[in-house]
Structure 1
Amino acid sequence: MIFKSAKANCHGDYVNANTSSEQCESDVQEIEELLRDINIQQILDPDCTFSSPKPNEEKSNLQRSLAENPDDFLSQLGEETLYYCHEYRYTLSEIWANNRDVREALHVREGTKGHWKRCNISGLAYTEDVTSSVAYHRNLSKTGLRALIYSGDHDMSVPHIGTQQWINSLNMTVADTWRAWYTEGQIAGYTKRYTNDDFALTYATVKGAGHVAPEYKPQQCYAMLKRWFAYYQL
């Protein structure tokens, strides 16, 4: 099985696969190929570039079209297509935010801000990258703070299983064991609570949610946050 092979050859380091070994790199490439046409933000959502013979190139062109010509892009889509593809809806936020009435309602002073973009794909100027934030969480776990970590359980971009693993690596005490949490009598996800002296961490999954959980399950996420801020159990 490819999973067992990757686990054996990469020794748990899949981020730097190209430096681990040739076999590790080969395994990771095979896995990426198998997942290529899955929407990793929400695995049940359609991948709207599945029909392209060059999906990576098509995705790049799609992002460019969305960012540079949102009005033209939307005019080419029917209503069914617009709501079929989750990422296409982001275009609406750009049109909304650049509407004169909206800008006046938000008190955006004329001339202080040009055309607003949700994501400036071509203008990213990062010089550093943080591949892991676990060390920061480990430092925070030695304070008297509270933390809420939540994951959509249909997110493959940052899978909830991986989140659970790095939380477990902090070696905290389990205060409340794994259980379901509910909204309106229905399971909204699962939760577990940890402590380390005065530090408390609540971890929760959001059932059916993708990468940005509130986009997919706003009601459940609102209930989760409201309870946590009020010091209630989920």
Structure 2
Amino acid sequence: MEHKEKLKMMSIIFVIISLLICNCEEESHIIKFLPGYPAILPFTLETGYIGVGKLEEVELFYYFIESERDPAIDPLLLWLTGGPGCSAFSGLVFEIGPLTFNYSASYSSTDTPKFQLNPYSWTKVANIIFLDSPVGTGFSYGTTADAYYSDDILQSQYIYEFLRKWLTRHSKFKANHLYVSGDSYSGKIVPIVVQEILNGNKNKLVPKINIKGYILGNPKTSDDAFTNGRPKYAHRISLISDELYKSARINCRGDFTNVEEANTSNTKCLESFQAMLHLRNVVNEPHVLEPKCVYLSPKPHKMTLTKDYIKQPCRPQLYMLSYEWANDIQVREALHIREGTVDYWVRCNHSLNTYTQNVRSTVDYHEGFKKQFLRALVYSGDQDAAIPYVSTLEWIKQLNLSVDIKWSPWFVDGQVAGYVTQYWSFPYRLTFSTVKGAGHTAPEYKPRESLAMIDRWLGLSPL
């Protein structure tokens, strides 16, 4: 039997085994009511687990929300929140999902945080799978201690396995256009997942995934481009002086990568870099125009949330509502969370000490995509100093793409919503866009403009 035929046979066996071991009624649940929302949910929400790995020792938890427009023909987005270790629920309620917390409501120490509908949800135009990945993120868990050891490559392979199993169980979405999507650290993971899908399709693994492209928001893609772009951005928005930036560029010979890793013997370079770092760190990096806030413990004491408290402008305080909600017993029952699997839910698990960040750059993946019929949307909030748009432009330039549409404004309701550049290298196309006034990440700060952007892009219209 030829190699390709063996792969195809193994793929068919994989699907059959997946179906045999899966009791789909137990694995996924349609949620009609959620604590904190006062009525039947006006959209279709499904939650569930899918086991991945050789022995399915990693159980990945997901939220799936059908498009509110036309689920049968609207695209399917897989959404990965960054970190690594940030729950997809953060992307759901703080960025692009149909629910958001009601910050104007009054709260007591016994209240469940309240939801309201998000009029700018991306589910207005797409079906979205919000996936808790890697293992140890959100409600995803491992059945053994060794299952918690993961890295960028392994995580991406597990996500591809998850997709194959999910589409096998949701066959009505096999024909929908798929876009692998995510933000922040997922800028590294998304391209690897895309390559896994392309490889699987080439090797005729089933189900064949109808991938059409990928979406990256405020992405960390290349460590070197990230590091070199931050001082340039800080200078561009007047966080550091002309004199200091010029001195740093000369002393460090235009390369800050070794400095940030404390791997330089160049004293003048190090002094200049530390001076820039001090000036940059006194502002709020996720959004330079918002106040810098005190970090809140991931395991806070039960608190009384009042209107005055919620009206405080510090976003970490607003994030506390997600902790209160996701750790409520009634909420876990409503979501069908398996008992004893996750002791305490956190929005971003910064203690993933069993996770290895082993990919410094995914620029080579993007380079390889230039031979594929793929579309890419890369966007950044222009007030984000954490992963600034300048860093993103640094690695896009490395692709040596032709410019189809030069840097131009795009509009929402007659106002400039950002600036867009269209690149191409047939058959590949990449759209880069800033979102004016947005931070890290764009939909959280500018939901209306972000919905307009994704709606136009998915609809093949100019921004």
| Deviates most, 172-181 or 16-25 | 16-25
Q: Is 1:44 equivalent to 2:259 in the alignment?
A: no
Counterpart of 1:224? 453
Q: How far 1:9 moved relative to its partner? A: 2.1
Kept in 2, the 8 Å contact 1:45–1:86? The answer is no
Q: CA offsets per residue over residues 21-66 of structure 1, 9 Å max, x none?
A: 22211111110111221001100010124xxxxxxxxxxxx34x2x
Indicate the percent of aligned positions where both proteins have the same amino acid. Answer: 41
Distance in 2 (CA, whole Å) between partners of 1:108 and 1:83 is 32
- Alignment-mate amino acid for residue 5 of structure 1: S
Computed over aligned residues only, the root mean square deviation of the Cα atoms, in angstroms, reads 2.2
Of 142, 153, 166, which aligns to 2:395?
166
Q: Is 1:202 equivalent to 2:431 in the alignment?
A: yes
Specify the SS of the correspondent of 2:343: coil
Q: What are the equivalent positions in structure 2 for 1:127-138 lying under 5 Å apart?
A: 127-138=356-367
Of 7, 14, 22, which aligns to 2:267?
22
| Deviates most, 3-12 or 39-48 | 3-12
Distance in 1 (CA, whole Å) between partners of 2:258 and 2:307 is 42
Counterpart of 1:12? 254
- Alignment-mate amino acid for residue 29 of structure 1: Q
- Pair 133,6 (structure 1): closer, same or farther in 2 beyond 3 Å: farther
Counterpart of 1:53? none
Aligned residue pairs, count: 218
Structure with the greater relative contact order (CA < 8 A, sep ≥ 6): 1 or 2?
2
In the alignment, structure 1 segments of 5+ residues that lack a partner are: 50-61
| Higher relative strand content | 2
Q: Is 1:31 equivalent to 2:276 in the alignment?
A: yes
- Alignment-mate amino acid for residue 439 of structure 2: G
Task: Please give the TM-score of this superposition, normalised by the length of structure 2.
Answer: 0.44
In the alignment, structure 2 segments of 5+ residues that lack a partner are: 1-242
Kept in 1, the 8 Å contact 2:310–2:318? The answer is no
Of 332, 355, 366, which aligns to 1:103?
332
Q: CA offsets per residue over residues 170-216 of structure 1, 9 Å max, x none?
A: 11111112111112222111101000110000000001100111111
Counterpart of 1:189? 418
Q: Is 1:68 equivalent to 2:310 in the alignment?
A: no
Task: Please give the TM-score of this superposition, normalised by the length of structure 1.
Answer: 0.83
Q: How far 1:128 moved relative to its partner? A: 3.3
Counterpart of 1:153? 382
Counterpart of 1:2? 244
- Alignment-mate amino acid for residue 263 of structure 2: T
- Pair 220,115 (structure 1): closer, same or farther in 2 beyond 3 Å: same
